[in-house]
Amino acid sequence: MIRRLLVANRAEIAERVIRTARARGTETVAVFSDVDAQLPYVAAADAAVRLAGASATDTYLRSDLLVDAALRMGADAVHPGYGFLSERAEFAKACVHAGLTFVGPPAAVIESMGSKIEAKRLMRAAGVPVLEGVTVADGAVTDDVATLADKVGYPLLVKATFGGGGRGMRVVEARGGLADAVAAASREAEAAFGSGEVFLERLVVAPRHVEVQVIGDVHGTVVHLFERECSIQRRHQKLLEESPSPGITSATRDAMCDAAVAAARAIGYVNAGTVEFVVGADEQFFFLEVNTRLQVEHPVTELVTGLDLVELQLQVAEGLALSDEVTAARTRGHAIEARLYAEDPDDEYLPSSGRLERFEIPRSEGVRVDAGYATGTVVGTDYDAMLAKVIAWAPTRLGAARRLAAALRGARLHGVTTNRDLLVGVLADDEFEAGGTDTAFLERHPPHTLCSAARDPDDELYCVVAAIWQRLEDRPRSPQPSGIPVAWRNVGPASQPKTFVLRGTEHVVDISGAHGARRLTLDDRPIEFGRVEVTATTADAVLDGRTVRASIERVGETIYVDGTFGSVALTIVPRLGVPAIEEAPGSLHAPLPGAVRRVAVSPDDVVAEGDTLMILEAMKMEHAIRAPRDGIVSSVLVADGDQVDRGAILAVVTAPELEAT
């Protein structure tokens, strides 16, 4: 029996495993990097071990440090979670060699599925439909590789041979873009998985991404626990997952689940895993890969089956046979999971970092929250940008979607930008509600449109609420005697304009009147008002004939307003303004904090609009810094390996006519 379990992971999945272990009476050991020391999972474990360093390469990807930590703390088993070393056969071997139980499939099984090319060969032999592919070992496109790519046909997909999660993946529309796509995917794969090998595969246009949960025990029993659809994706990374799939027939479901079990049996699968398929418009499906680990989206399966997959993993690792409850499992109702990321969908999904001044997601009937962060913790740039998973169950799909959207709307998320509005916009979209959830969904529905649809259409009124609230907040700071209004003058009541920036646009609220607001304007538009009740943390007002209720919090120069139908972050503009900082024309700024992975230009280089000047890496994703226009690189201010803050000047590209003068 497993008595003490080391969880070789971080954040949300570490806390998830610890929760089940605690419920069954198993002691737990957490590991944490220097930047994760304050995350909730560290305190949730019975003991914790520091891994010195910040990057994954120095910490969570060091199997020697993890095994040593397990042995020093007296653990007898290791749970790898997902990501990091969860699909590394070498890690599983190292655990077993040290006398530790590895909570996952045998190393040989991981090894056979670790290479997606080898996995396809095995699946083809087992009679599972597969797409053909071409391996590119070193990230270089030779003439032979280009010729084979032509045979595969365009558009095609470049994918990392080892690893997953959308990293090391690029779409190529034509031969001219092949070399750059392969090189970028190879670099990203090397950084995330330790191998830059990629392969080319025919791209099925606008398919559904459907996966089947499987589990096997050491006694030879392998069963499926039905399917999950994961088609709502951005940059090949999943945003929403659900079970059952709304877009396949029962016949396709049965055939796919049977194929998944056949695939698992063919490789002698033990423990929990997932067989992933791509499904075309005609419901013809093809094998993608086997994830030899627990999946991020496993909660939707738990909610529709009533099973605890982590508990099943631990039972299988202890040598127990699958129970009748598992082998005869059935589904009930519908579950949908949303991945809440620290990123800005309105700005090309750029990751966001900083301190979470408030992180509260309401729990209610049918809603589950698996979070990796809490109020006061810091979101850095070293790891994945996922903050939490919010999962809703209901008897019907529409009911689950509405419960999930309500939970997200009710969340108070202060300090970093999140994708909350995008998620709510998807859940409320007519096409989503009708089950139109293929992987091209976000191409048909631009993020800006979805985010706008999720917001309160009158959320500019939140500026008025904030101005009234700020007037109350300013009163204790005023040096005037009590009873005299703020900004009082003996020549009559003073105008009190307040200026805020809401999503890049300035709005001016003018409050006139000596004893309470008697006149309100928003951007020179008169605002009718009735009841106005403001406390230190709330506002309840009738503005332009509608009720506006909100909770309010100020952090520095930002006011967060969480209303009934939306939330906004308002930046306070100082009345006297801020002196502008002079900088050279053509300066290019870092769009986010991160590491400079590659500088592709030098001073005096001539560049064309759109040329890649350098690559930044943040949260294990690459971001290209491109020339905004034709010009000449007059200076490069960073080098490979530099860490930069958001807004830092990276390079200066001077227009040719300016250079000539």
Which pLDDT value is given to residue 114? 81
Share of the chain above pLDDT 70, in %: 93
In this structure, the answer to whether residues 265 and 354 fall within a common structural domain is yes
Q: Helix, strand, or coil here: 624?
A: strand
- Are 373 and 450 found together in one domain? yes
Lowest mean pLDDT among 291-305, 359-373, 471-485: 471-485
- The number of domains in the chain is 5
- The pLDDT assigned to 304 comes to 98
Report which of 394, 385, 445, 391 is spatially closest to residue 419, judged by C-alpha positions. Answer: 385
* % the chain with pLDDT above 90: 72
- What does R_g of the chain's alpha carbons equal in angstroms? 27
CA 596 to chain centroid: 21
On whether both 647 and 506 belong to a single domain, the answer is no
List the one residue out of 309, 160, 335 whose CA is nearest residue 240.
Answer: 335
Of 509, 543, 572, the residue at which a domain comes to its end is 572
Residue 122 lies in a domain: no
Domain identity same for 369 and 247:
yes
Closest C-alpha to 359, from 326, 400, 399, 387: 387
Separation CA 418–CA 559 (nearest Å): 16
Cα angle at 37 between 34 and 40, to 5 degrees? 150
- Any domain includes 108: no
Which CATH number does the domain housing residue 218 bear? 3.30.470.20
In a domain, 387, yes or no: yes
110 belongs to a structural domain: no
Per-residue confidence (pLDDT) for residue 580, from 0 to 100: 57
Q: What is the pLDDT of residues 360-412, one digit of tens each?
A: 999 999 999 999 999 999 999 889 899 999 999 999 999 999 999 999 999 99
Q: Are residue 473 and residue 422 in the same domain, yes or no?
A: no
Shared domain for 466 and 437, answered yes or no, is no
> What CATH number is given to the structural domain containing 158?
3.30.1490.20
Top-ranked range on mean pLDDT: pick from 19-33, 486-500, 602-616: 19-33
C-alpha distances out from residue 359 to 37, 144, 247, 294, 372, Å: 18, 52, 34, 26, 11
Q: What is the DSSP letter of 320?
A: P
Does the residue 124 lie in any domain? Answer: no
378 touches 386 (CB < 8 A): no
Among 380, 381, 350, residue whose Cα is nearest residue 624: 350
- Mean pLDDT throughout 130-154? 83
Any domain includes 645: yes
Same domain, 167 and 189: yes
Does residue 84 share a domain with residue 69? yes
- The DSSP code sequence of 203-258 is --SS-EEEEEEEEE-TTS-EEEEEEEEEEEEETTEEEEEEES-TTS-HHHHHHHHH
Whether residues 427 and 554 share a domain: the answer is no
Of the candidates 381, 383, 115, 349, which has an alpha carbon nearest to the alpha carbon of residue 233?
349
| Contact between 613 and 588 (Cβ < 8 Å) | yes
27-66 per-position pLDDT tens digit: 999 999 999 999 999 999 999 999 999 999 999 999 999 9
| Cα–Cα dist 244/210, whole Å | 10
Q: 202, 217, 234 — which closes off a domain?
A: 202
Assess whether 388 and 515 both reside in one domain: no
- Domain edge (last residue) among 572, 602, 637: 572
> CA 457 to CA 452: how far, in whole Å?
8
Output the domain CATH number for residue 647. 2.40.50.100
CA–CA dist 560, 609 (Å, integer)? 38
- State the pairing for strand pair 208-216/198-202: unpaired
Residue 581 lies in a domain: no
- Structural domain of residue 539, as residue ranges? 461-572
Same domain, 189 and 230: no
Query: Is 438 in contact with 427 (CB distance < 8 Å)?
Result: no
How does DSSP assign 544-583, residue by residue?
Answer: TTEEEEEEEEEETTEEEEEETTEEEEEEEPPTT--PPPP-
Asked if residue 244 has a cis previous peptide bond (ω within 30° of 0), the answer is: yes
pLDDT score at 513: 67
97 CB-near residues (< 8 Å, 6+ apart): none
Query: Is residue 342 assigned to a domain?
Result: yes
Are 189 and 234 within one domain?
no
Phi then psi for residue 524, to 5 deg, are: 70, 5
pLDDT for residue 595 is more than 80: yes
